[in-house]
């Protein structure tokens, strides 16, 4: 296949951010006297954005909108100081991005993480590479798996959806790719299992970043 561009999910795909996210979440929950979550539980809480993270983390039938609003403010404030304590690129990501850069492949990031944190992660943890577009969630687009963000990125890249390889670690990403008319490739080093990726439309699964360059 002759792909002209690649769109990456961020958390669980390029960066291992889970520990910082869940540690911050647990700090907020604990301060409000709610139960905390293990890292393994956290794998299934993340993915739909920070507001949904708060909603899912609260005990069943307690997640009122005013409570979510209050905890979300706390989460954003705490995460501002704790987002980069442990977060880092997965092994092999640097070499894979070097290869794509050498090929002249256009690269973009599309995340459900709030845009300001997405920009921070890209700027500080992926500073060795230039991305043509970096976009986190903001009020102008719906969260993935709605395809609007992916289609907007495609427009900014000046490529048709069918010319774009969409890479992510969750069913959300695979749905987004399929709905946008892009090729869904799932990675197995992230937060979700192969079964979920296949269930939601992954056409190819890869076990390590170098497999992406082999696929291309």
**Catalytic (active-site) positions:** 9
* Structural contact between residues 48 and 171, judged by C-beta atoms closer than 8 angstroms: no
Q: What is the DSSP string of 13-68?
A: TTEE-HHHHHHHHHHHHHHTT-----HHHHTTT-SS-HHHHHHHHSPTT---HHHH
Burial of 169 (0-12, 13-18, 19+ CB in 10 A): buried
Measured distance CA(34)–CA(180) in Å, rounded: 38
Residue in 163, 211, 164 with CA at minimum distance from that of residue 187: 211
């Amino acid at each position: 296949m002759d792909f002209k561009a690649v769109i990456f999910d961020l958390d669980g795909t390029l960066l291992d951010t889970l520990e910082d996210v869940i540690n911050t979440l647990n700090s907020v929950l604990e301060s409000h006297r709610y139960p905390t979550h293990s890292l393994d539980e956290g794998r299934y809480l993340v993915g739909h954005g920070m507001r949904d993270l708060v909603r899912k983390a609260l005990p069943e039938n307690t997640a009122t909108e005013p409570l979510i609003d209050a905890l979300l403010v706390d989460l954003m404030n705490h995460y501002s100081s704790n987002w980069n304590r442990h977060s880092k690129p997965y092994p092999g990501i640097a070499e894979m991005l070097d290869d794509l850069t050498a090929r002249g492949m256009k690269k973009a990031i599309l995340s459900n993480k709030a845009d300001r944190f997405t920009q921070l992660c890209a700027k500080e943890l992926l500073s060795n590479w230039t991305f043509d577009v970096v976009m986190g969630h903001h009020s102008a687009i719906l969260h993935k798996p709605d395809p609007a963000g992916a289609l907007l990125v495609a427009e900014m890249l000046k490529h048709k959806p069918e010319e774009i390889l969409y890479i992510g670690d969750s069913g959300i990403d695979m749905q987004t790719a399929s709905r946008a008319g892009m090729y869904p490739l799932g990675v197995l080093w992230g937060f979700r299992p192969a079964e979920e990726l296949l269930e939601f439309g992954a056409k190819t699964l890869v076990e390590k970043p170098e497999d992406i360059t082999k696929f291309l």
